[in-house]
């Protein structure tokens, strides 16, 4: 029974083209190790070097977003960036011949409106507009409550071959489940 | 201002900020656990060096990958250099990228757009 269940899960992942999936508490060390095996997998699959770099870049930005912005934290906000541990999920796979990187995590309900607005704006921009917006944001101080350059989402969009997909699912409490999927 | 030398790790670049010689170098990959902790002291040292005044300054940036937090940190290093150049210091930033690495070349062009007083040179490195 145990093997049947686990094999079904394993086979379903394979069928869906998933090459890496992680769910649980994510730290910078976990990010690093997952990134290393992801690079190795892409090397062995003879993935084009430029594509590999883009996949890796999107993976890092998404994983760091989970670590920094997930509402479900094991090691809380306010601790140094490098020591934060937060729950969420990250998945890398291949769908119709294209790599995708997806992540999911809980966010505080009051942040949904702002996050949705930022994503709507980014999704509506062309490649040239994204580049221009990235340059603008690079020069500006980080947003309130943002630990990184607040340009991680723009970076993800720039490295994607199609507009990023995102969704929010209300949980019935003060948090919302947020997910993001980027095709490279 | 003393020289700062930090060996590269698998996720942070080699740092060689040789202030007395006027030569600064970052080489490698940059997605440190905490960009502020890594780059903060470098920015402080650079500011102190610029306040002291002195001769020409060349900053070689040879990063094969950097995350968005590192991009922000790089911009924070570049801004005081551009200010110093505006005040008359001779400042050259050399953006080194591997042949065929369009992502890094494009990132260099993104930064170059912000300099008007410091020289910003794009330098293609051929594979050894």
Instruction: Give exposure, B25-35, as e/b (b: 16+ Cβ within 10 Å).
Output: bbbbbbbbbbb
Q: Is A65 on the interface with B (CB under 8 A)?
A: no
CA of B2 vs chain A CAs: smallest distance (Å): 27
pLDDT value at position A1?
79
Q: Is A78 on the interface with B (CB under 8 A)?
A: no
Contacts of B65 in chain A (CB under 8 A): 53, 56-57
Q: Is B75 on the interface with A (CB under 8 A)?
A: yes
Write phi, then psi, for A123 (nearest 5 degrees). Answer: -65, -30
CATH code of domain A2-183: 3.30.565.10
Note whether B33 contacts A81, CB cutoff 8 Å. yes
pLDDT exceeds cutoff 70 at A142: no
Q: Is B37 on the interface with A (CB under 8 A)?
A: yes
pLDDT value at position A16?
92
Contacts of B114 in chain A (CB under 8 A): 135, 139
A101 to each of A115, A146, A153, A161, B1, how far by Cα in Å? 19, 22, 13, 12, 44
Note whether B68 contacts A155, CB cutoff 8 Å. yes
Complex prediction ipTM: 0.92
| Confidence band of B127 (pLDDT split at 50, 70, 90) | low
Write phi, then psi, for A87 (nearest 5 degrees). Answer: -85, 145
Domains contained in chain B, CATH given:
4-125 (3.30.750)
Q: How far apart are CA A70 and CA A104, in angstroms?
A: 9
| Confidence band of A145 (pLDDT split at 50, 70, 90) | low
Q: pLDDT (tens digit, 9 = 90+) per residue, B8-48?
A: 999 999 999 999 999 999 999 999 999 989 999 999 999 99
Q: What is the mean pLDDT of chain B?
A: 94
Average pLDDT over every residue of A50-59:
96
Q: pLDDT (tens digit, 9 = 90+) per residue, A82-118?
A: 788 999 999 999 999 999 999 999 999 999 999 999 9
């Amino acid at each position: 029974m145990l093997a049947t269940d686990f094999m079904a899960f394993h086979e379903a992942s394979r069928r869906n083209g998933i090459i890496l999936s992680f769910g649980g508490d994510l730290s910078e060390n976990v990010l690093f190790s997952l990134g290393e095996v992801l690079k190795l997998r892409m090397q062995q699959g003879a993935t084009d070097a430029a594509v590999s770099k883009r996949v890796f870049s999107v993976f890092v930005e998404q994983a760091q977003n989970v670590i920094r912005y997930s509402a479900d934290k094991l090691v809380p906000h306010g601790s140094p960036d490098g020591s934060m541990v937060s729950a969420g999920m990250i998945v890398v796979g291949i769908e119709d011949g294209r790599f995708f990187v997806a992540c999911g995590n809980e966010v505080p309900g009051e942040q949904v409106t702002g996050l949705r607005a930022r994503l709507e704006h980014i999704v509506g921009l062309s490649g040239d507009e994204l580049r221009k917006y990235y340059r603008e944001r690079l020069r500006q101080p980080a947003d309130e409550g943002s630990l990184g350059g607040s340009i991680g989402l723009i970076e993800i969009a720039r490295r994607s071959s199609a507009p990023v997909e995102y969704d929010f699912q209300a949980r019935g409490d003060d948090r919302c489940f947020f997910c993001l999927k980027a095709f490279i | 201002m003393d020289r700062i030398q930090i060996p590269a790790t698998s996720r942070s670049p080699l740092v060689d900020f040789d202030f007395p010689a006027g030569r600064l170098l970052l080489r490698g990959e940059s997605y440190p656990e905490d960009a502020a902790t890594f780059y903060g002291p470098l920015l402080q040292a650079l500011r102190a060096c610029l306040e002291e005044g002195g001769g020409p300054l060349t900053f070689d940036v040879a990063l094969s990958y950097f995350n968005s937090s590192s991009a922000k940190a790089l911009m924070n290093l570049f801004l005081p250099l551009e200010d110093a150049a505006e005040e008359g210091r001779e400042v050259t930033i050399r953006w080194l990228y591997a042949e065929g690495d369009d992502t890094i070349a494009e990132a260099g062009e993104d930064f170059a757009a912000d300099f008007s007083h410091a020289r910003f040179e794009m330098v293609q490195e051929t594979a050894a």
